A and B are shown apart, each in its own frame.
Chain A
Amino acid sequence: MSLIGNLFCSTVGRKFLMAVSGLILVGFVIGHLVGNLQIFSHPDKINGYAQFLHSLGPLLWVTRIGLLIAAVIHIWAAIALTRTNAQARGTQHYGVNRWIRAPFASRYMRLTGFVVLAFLAYHLAQFTLGYASSSTFKGHLPEYTMASDFHIFGFPAVEKGHAVDDVYSMVFYGFQNPVISFFYILAVGLLTIHLLHGFQSVFHSFGWYSASWAPALRAVTIIFCIGFFFGNASMPAAILSGWLKPAQGTNVAAQPRTALNQAP
């Protein structure tokens, strides 16, 4: 078989593709988290950052398409392997089913994957496309005026006084809804569990793993997962609890009690 054949048709190859695509998606969620944590800073940061991303134009689309392909491969590999595995199990099942030592997270990869996928669809609808909670979608809110210059890695990206989408308020409004916040935290929790097994599994599937540094990898995985969960959960938690107050100059500071379900 050819290389493509080996990668796409063999179980080992498919696990490799799943690992590669999973790693790309992990890279994305890390970047996403870092970007979003700017909500704890001045609104210029997150709004300027969002404006910067939009200004990338074709590059943004390349990235988006790349991520989409990674997600499609990840999901395709999961479905293909699941079908192979179901066939391998055959039609007669054990009378007694039990686990010997499979780690907790590994037992629910499909379940956590499904919920994360559903959440992702909602998340995109809410914050990227504006189909859900459209009254507070960034496109429907009055624009935000930058209070200072926004730099990214030291390079000027957005100038002071520029009017940009008020992403800050959109997020703030979104997380003021306890249902949305709860679902968000739950989904992030499940994604963390998914990563708890997935992140280590990547190393197995790449064939890059050694008993000598396995404990270190385990520790890094756990620290990463804890950081990932609390980083993501901190935003809805801070907003919902009222610990994080809306910043001056944003829509949400001017109109804190906007009815979320009101039509635009």
Chain B
Amino acid sequence: MAAGVSKNNISVTLRVWRQAGPGKPGGFVDYPAKNVNSNMSILELLDVVNDELTLKGDEPIAFAHDCREGICGTCSLMIDGKPHGPNQGVASCQTYMRSFEDGAVIVIEPFRAAPFPIVKDLVSDRSAFDRIQQAGGFITVRTGAAPDANSIPVPKADAELAMDAAACIGCGACVAACKNRSAVLFVAAKVSHLGLMPQGQPERDSRVLAMVNTADELGFGSCTNQGECSAACPKMISHDFIVRLNRDYLAASFRSAFCAHAAGGHAE
């Protein structure tokens, strides 16, 4: 086979969730797509379908996307019942048409959860994640007040594990995949990343309490330890970070009850 000159075109039907706006009724609409280049990403196919809809005078399908290289976390399609499509460890923008059979009916829906209300068609509002971050997903450091970067060594193993957690792109696939719509993998990734760094210790307790309690207030569900979140995660964030979160949360709860000044900072 000559590189790049393979012509392997397929025909598929996109069964797409259409919804005019928040709270409006929605339903599936079929869009046949013929002669689709299998090296096209599913977002590029939506671009093509949208151009056709535009020319026909129909309203194009709204879908969230931006960087198209799997790092910004904007794209958020539920494809055939799995966030981001059939492959592991990729975002929707990295799902190529060669992952589908010729003649397939591909069901595309938005990420659904009560805290992720649908804005339009395939776009849902994930600003709840920002709210969780604002509650405690940070290390308080005034600009300019930082000590020399090498004055606080970080054991390599901790730095690597923190980096594993920090790889989260905040797309919300974990919530979409969880039958309880729990945000716990997202929260766990953030809490673990900062909690593993020596710099993150002073606010460790207040951070975990505030972030978990905020996620609860926003209406996310609870973890049932099924691992669907990690399986759907485009960055394959490990489920083990949730264990770390539970430990931190319980320890912080007990410490705040029994040790004076244990959970100061932003827990309130």
- Residues of A at the B interface (CB closer than 8 Å) are 1-3, 6-7, 9-16, 81, 84-85, 87-103, 106-107, 109, 197, 200-201, 203-211
Contacts and interface: CB of A to CB of B under 8 A. Distances in A.
B216 interface: yes
Given A84-B221, A95-B107, A106-B225, A15 B179 contact: no
Sort A-B residue pairs by CB-CB distance and give the 10 closest, nearest first: A207-B247, A96-B81, A88-B221, A3-B257, A207-B246, A90-B114, A11-B222, A102-B226, A85-B221, A98-B81
A113 B252 CA distance: 31
A95 B122 CA distance: 13
Contacts of A10: 212-213, 216, 249
A61 to B, nearest CB: 30
Contacts of B228: 99-102
A207 B112 contact: no
B182 interface: yes
A211 B256 CA distance: 28
Given A88-B115, A89-B221, A95-B107, A211 B80 contact: no
Contacts of B232: 100
B103 interface: no
Nearest to B183: A88
B197 interface: no
A106 B239 CA distance: 15
Given A100-B231, A101-B227, A15 B247 contact: no
A2 B257 contact: yes
A97 B83 CA distance: 11
Nearest to A90: B114
Given A6-B253, A101-B231, A89 B181 contact: yes
B209 A208 contact: no
Contacts of A84: 180, 216, 221-222
A11 B26 contact: no
Contacts of A6: 209, 213, 249, 253, 256
A197 B226 CA distance: 9
A96 to B, nearest CB: 4
B265 interface: no
Interface in B220-266: 220-228, 231-232, 238, 240, 242-251, 253-254, 256-258
Contacts of A88: 113-115, 180-182, 219-221
Given A10-B212, A89-B181, A95-B107, 16 more contacts: A12-B184, A12-B223, A16-B250, A81-B180, A81-B221, A84-B221, A84-B222, A88-B114, A88-B220, A89-B179, A96-B81, A96-B109, A102-B227, A106-B226, A209-B240, A210-B243
Nearest to B223: A15
A102 B177 CA distance: 11
B256 A3 contact: yes
Contact of B113 (A1, A89, A200): A89
B7 to A, nearest CB: 30
A203 B246 CA distance: 10
B184 A11 contact: yes
Contacts of A9: 216
Interface in B10-34: 15, 17, 26, 28
Please tell me the size bucket of the interface on B: 35 or more
Contacts of A106: 224-226
The main secondary structure of chain A at its interface with chain B is helix
A86 to B, nearest CB: 8
B214 to A, nearest CB: 10
5 contacts: A6-B213, A9-B216, A10-B212, A13-B250, A103-B226
A207 B250 contact: yes
B250 A12 contact: yes
B30 to A, nearest CB: 12
A13 B113 contact: no
A13 B245 CA distance: 12
B165 interface: no
B177 to A, nearest CB: 6
B181 A201 contact: no
A197 B225 contact: yes
Nearest to B224: A106
A88 B15 CA distance: 25
B82 interface: yes
B132 interface: no
Contacts of B225: 106, 197, 200-201, 204-205
A113 to B, nearest CB: 12
A204 B246 contact: yes
Nearest to A102: B226
Contacts of B221: 11, 81, 84-85, 87-89
